[in-house]
Amino acid sequence: MIEMNRVNHTFAIGKAGKERKVPVLKDVTLDVREGEIIAILGRSGSGKSTLLNVLAGFMRPESGSILVGGREVSTLSESAMADFRLAHYGFIFQNFQLMPGLTAAENIELPLKIKGIPVQERKRKVGELLAQVGLTEVAAHYPNELSGGQQQRVSIARALITDPPILLADEPTGSLDSETEQDILHLIQSLNRKLGLTFVIITHDAEVADIAHRQYQLHDGELVKGEKRHAV
Ligand SMILES: Nc1ncnc2c1ncn2[C@@H]1O[C@H](COP(=O)(O)OP(=O)(O)OP(=O)(O)O)[C@@H](O)[C@H]1O
Ligand SMILES: [Mg+2]
């Protein structure tokens, strides 16, 4: 479903004219099959977020290819990539990134509004997702009236509402206590099993990596296949 082949990415740092080039992704090769949960582990600064940003097309790699569903995406124009992203990817962030002025239901609904989906269909879909992530009772709450775990459920529902086949998550449980973390991990596992969704999860947490079917490790921009601690 996703094949990254010898992807390189370099940041230029320092003043214009005096830049220093810092390679952050070095010949990264990654394959993700449909319906898999993949965890990418690595220390702070190893290039995890950069890898996810390149995969999502927010940054263009310096070299290498990225095939998603057999299609080369690393050469798409910015607007073609934006369309591709909307159709194929849902995003889950460490800090939820909810709109503070919108209720849980309205946050979940937002991507459909942007897509111009009629109101009846939007409401139906939002109701479905609220039930799926167990938030029906707090649909009218604003983010600051929700716990961290509930906020992450809202953000997961928002990521799912456009029916993307692939979910990209950067430290999805990084802001949660360990009990709430387990909750969110169970939700991810059940979405993976019931809906066959593919997850690429960036983390430095072995608990998160334990729900993955396969793991990779990033060491200073080099990606290697990792060993699991024990079977799920
Ligand atoms: N826009 C940028 N310009 C220059 N250097 C950058 C930029 N973004 C990231 N870097 C550098 O690239 C390296 C990898 O950063 P990245 O954010 O991918 O790490 P990470 O593994 O996600 O770390 P963390 O676990 O702390 O989130 C770091 O050394 C960082 O300083
Ligand atoms: Mg990061």
In a domain, 55, yes or no: yes
Distance 117 CA to ligand 2 centre (A): 33
In a domain, 173, yes or no: yes
| Pairwise CA distance, residues 85 & 28, whole Å | 21
In a domain, 30, yes or no: no
**Count of structural domains, the chain:** 1
CB 28 within 8 A of CB 4: yes
In a domain, 24, yes or no: no
Can you give the CATH number for the domain in which 121 is found?
A: 3.40.50.300
Residue 37's closest CA among 181, 202, 175, 179? 202
In a domain, 8, yes or no: no
Report which bound ligand comes closest to the CA of 218: 1
User: Which three-class secondary structure state does DSSP give residue 79?
Assistant: helix
Residue nearest to atom 25 of ligand 1 (CA): 44
Report which bound ligand comes closest to the CA of 42: 1
Its domain, for residue 177, covers 35-62+77-228
Q: Which pTM does this prediction carry? A: 0.92
Distance 44 CA to ligand 2 centre (A): 7
In a structure prediction context, what are the per-residue pLDDT tens digits for the chain, which is 232 residues long? 999 999 999 998 888 888 889 999 999 999 999 999 999 999 999 999 999 999 999 999 999 999 999 999 999 999 999 999 999 999 999 999 999 999 999 999 999 998 899 999 999 999 999 999 999 999 999 999 999 999 999 999 999 999 999 999 999 999 999 999 999 999 999 999 999 999 999 998 888 989 999 999 999 999 998 876 554 4
CB 25 within 8 A of CB 9: yes
